[in-house]
Amino acid sequence: MTVREVILLGNPLLREKSSDAAFGKELETIIEDLKDTLIYLQRKKGIGRALAAPQIGYLKKVIFINARNSKNSRTMTLINPTIVEKSKEMIEVWDSCYSFDVAFFVQIKRHKKIKVEYMDENGRKIVEEFEDDLSELLQHEIDHLNGILATDHLKSGKDIIMREEWEKRYRN
Ligand SMILES: [Zn+2]
């Protein structure tokens, strides 16, 4: 049981590119730490659906998702994910991040559908299509593996709001 500290916006580590993860002891530790940290954060912050390994200091391509409360309920680990197809159709979303301490939200555009190639915890290669909330979530998390943050997608500084205002105006 290891809850790790989340690296915050401004830390240059968040801008690094992660490398492919290899199966073995280190990967097991990363997955365990991601799970422990995400469950802890979801309880503490009352919000959030996923965590990427670089956010807790491992520059490896690993993502853990626990999106049980969204309409496409899903718990999964993605190892070495890459987006192999993106829809032309875009959706507008309010996005935040544990690395922003979920203090503010940004309104940005994401692809409505994506196809992702990844490995699961058992090393099985999977190609899967995601739509709407899971699609935008995975785009956010895969961005982390490439050193990209949600704020990089902002078109205007007017599309930033504090969490309190988001809760009042936009939370379902
Ligand atoms: Zn994030």
Which residues sit opposite 109 in a β-bridge?
Answer: 92
- Percentage of residues in the chain with pLDDT exceeding 90? 94
Average pLDDT, rounded, for the chain = 96
Tell me, yes or no, whether 135 lies in a domain: yes
In angstroms, rounded to a whole number, what is the distance separating the alpha carbons of residues 128 and 132? Answer: 14
Q: Band of the pLDDT at 110, cuts 50, 70, 90?
A: very high
Q: Using a cut of 0.75, tell me whether the model's pTM lies above it.
A: yes
How many Å lie between the centroid of ligand 1 and the Cα of residue 13?
A: 13
- Our count of domains for the chain comes to 1
How many Å lie between the centroid of ligand 1 and the Cα of residue 159?
A: 17
How many Å lie between the centroid of ligand 1 and the Cα of residue 20?
A: 19
Tell me, yes or no, whether 1 lies in a domain: no
What residue type is 95 in one-letter code? Answer: D
Q: Is 134 a residue whose pLDDT tops 90?
A: yes
CATH of the domain at 133: 3.90.45.10
How many Å lie between the centroid of ligand 1 and the Cα of residue 140?
A: 6
Residues near ion ligand 1 (CB < 5 Å) are: 97
10-29 pLDDT per residue, tens: 999 999 999 999 999 999 99
Tell me, yes or no, whether 73 lies in a domain: yes
Q: Is 116 a residue whose pLDDT tops 90?
A: yes
Active site residues per annotation = 141
Q: Band of the pLDDT at 172, cuts 50, 70, 90?
A: confident
Least confident of 8-22, 62-76, 95-109, 134-148: 62-76
Least confident of 17-26, 70-79, 146-155: 70-79
Structural domain that includes position 105: 12-169
How many Å lie between the centroid of ligand 1 and the Cα of residue 126?
A: 23
Query: In angstroms, what CA-CA distances link 112 with 13, 28, 71, 131, 153?
Result: 29, 32, 15, 6, 15
Which tokens belong to 11?
């830390």
